[in-house]
Amino acid sequence: MKIITEMARKHNIYIFCDEVYKGLELDKIKRPWFADVYEKSVSLGVMSKSYGLAGLRIGWIATKDEEILEKMISYKKAAG
C-alpha cells in the first residue's frame, strides 16, 4: 500500500480501490482503507461479501477528495 501510494503521489494520479473483501484476510492485521491513506483515492465497500450477507445490495464509496465526492453526489441525483 505504501509503495502504491508513493507512486500515485509522485505521478499525481488517482487510485480506485475495490475493497469488497476487506476484513476477510487470513491474517489478523488491521489494514486501513485506501481512502484513509491517500487523499486522491476512492474506496469501494459492500456488505454482501465481508459480512456474508448475499443478496443484500448495500455498498458505499469513501473519499477525501471533495471534487470527486461532489461529482458522485451529482451523478447519484441524476441516475437515481
What's 32's domain CATH number?
A: 3.40.640.10
SS3 17: strand
Structural domain count, the chain:
1
0.75 cut: is pTM over it? yes
Domain membership of residue 51 as a residue range: 2-79
SS3 63: strand
Q: Taking a C-beta distance cutoff of 8 angstroms, is the pair 19, 34 a contact?
A: yes
Task: Tally Cβ neighbours within 10 Å of residue 35.
Answer: 21
**pLDDT score for 47:** 84
38-57 tens-digit pLDDT: 999 999 998 888 777 888 88
**pLDDT score for 57:** 83
Give Dmax (Cα) for the chain: 41
Alpha-carbon distance of 80 to 55, in angstroms, equals 20
